[in-house]
Amino acid sequence: MSQINRLQETVAALLDGHRGILAADESNGTIAKRFASIGVEPTEENRRNYRTALLSCKGLGECISGVILFEETLGQKDASGQFLPEVAAAQGILPGIKVDKGKGPLPGADGDMITYGLDGLAERLRSYQEQGARFAKWREVYPIGHHNPTRLGLTANAEVLARYAAVCQAEGVVPIVEPEVLMDGGHDIERSAAVNERVWHSVFHALHQHGVILELMLLKPSMVIPGSEAEAAGPEQVAEYTLRSLRRTVPAAVPSINFLSGGQGPEEATANLNAMNQQGGGPWQLGFSYGRALQESALSAWQGRAENVVAAQEALLKRSRMNHLAMLGKYRETLE
């Protein structure tokens, strides 16, 4: 099978108009913080048990088409000895992999960040494919401040995203491009919209320069929302601003936009996605690739105890179904 055919096959499996992507790719440091909130030690065994519970949730494949995994999870097995990517695949959920190596300050651009991990990426992708991964994800972050993101910050982050995406496609792996505009701060929704537009414009300019095939990638952006210290916006306003900014900057060739939740609460993220689809969306599929917004209630129900696995799975399945309905524009808060 050619690389192009492999990419087309993966995109077709991920996108069917009603299923989204579960982000279960928390680094060991991040999941340690999540576990600390429920008093669970962040051991390898506990991480394996928790992710086994998520991926073995019966019926999850009806709402979830793909799952982004952390590198450790690719090599872990459930209690029966089955590799966790195979557990997901058995439900019709395509395994994917987070490939960036975390972020740090961008020299020369005070306040901006840059993500590491391009060195050796092609070799790692080949190894990940042997372990079942079919797509990848890379995240760049953009703080909003008085002077941020700077021109250098925009250019440098876009360049890294484009290089990552080009390497993925060369290796037959579908790239998810994630430019996350952080919600920290007191900026209003107008400022958020302006920054998001600048970010998306710079990203697609770089993707074009690197020859990335837009039809064979996914975009995982922030929604256009006010800063966490500003007055909140309702779903209709978030949908209006987000769709306007996307239509100004994201080419129609991109097949799907799978939003990150970016610190939004589970109900908020679902309601905002629903409003976008009710307002007519755009030329792209509008879906979700949520982490905490899908897992928060499941983690709370699990509490690190085997007897709570079913309750955790029920919580995950409920949130997944709510977002499945939001992709169809049929979510109702009363269903909560």
Q: What is the pLDDT of residue 336?
A: 62
Of 26, 140, 178, 296, catalytic: 178
CATH superfamily of domain region 3-335: Aldolase class I (3.20.20.70)
Domain ranges of the chain: 3-335
For residues 313 and 306, is the Cβ–Cβ distance under 8 A? no
Active site residue 180: no
Strand pairing partners for 181? 142
Of 220, 240, 268, 296, catalytic: 220
Q: How far apart are CA 140 and CA 182, in angstroms?
A: 10
Contacts of residue 194, Cβ cutoff 8 Å, sequence gap at least 6: none
Active site residue 137: no
For residues 215 and 174, is the Cβ–Cβ distance under 8 A? no
Residue whose token pair is 């991109």: 254
For residues 74 and 128, is the Cβ–Cβ distance under 8 A? yes
Q: What is the pLDDT of residue 332?
A: 84
Q: What is the pLDDT of residue 334?
A: 59
Instruction: For the chain, 336 residues long, give each residue's pLDDT as a single digit of tens.
Output: 799 999 999 999 999 999 999 999 999 999 999 999 999 999 999 999 999 999 999 999 999 999 999 999 999 999 999 999 999 999 999 999 999 999 999 999 999 999 999 999 999 999 999 999 999 999 999 999 999 999 999 999 999 999 999 999 999 999 999 999 999 999 999 999 999 999 999 999 999 999 999 999 999 999 999 999 999 999 999 999 999 999 999 999 999 999 999 999 999 999 999 999 999 989 999 999 999 999 999 999 999 999 999 999 999 999 999 999 999 999 986 566
Strands (E) in 162-290, as ranges, are: 174-181, 218-219, 256-259, 285-290
